[in-house]
Amino acid sequence: MILSKEECTLNISNLEHLKIKIIKSEYVAAITDSDGHELLMGYGDTIAAAINDLHHNLI
């Protein structure tokens, strides 16, 4: 089942091991280990684009 935009209210601060930051007007999504080291990153003009790029880098 795919949730609609109205049904999906995600607070990214609740996600463990995912860091979102802005570098030079670009969003960066990073997977971190338990010590906070960034292991893999994705970049985009929006948070969603950065997470999608991160996911694309995994597959």
pLDDT for 10 = 73
Contact 41, 58 (CB under 8 A): no
DSSP conformational letter for 38: E
Asked whether residue 5 carries a pLDDT value surpassing 80, the answer given is: no
Percent of the chain with pLDDT over 90: 64
The model carries a pTM of 0.78
* Structure confidence by residue, pLDDT tens digits, 9-29: 777 777 889 999 999 999 999
Please state, in angstroms and rounded to a whole number, the distance separating the CA atoms of residues 4 and 21: 26
pLDDT for 40 = 96
Sheet with strand 38-44: strands edge to edge: 18-23, 26-32, 38-44
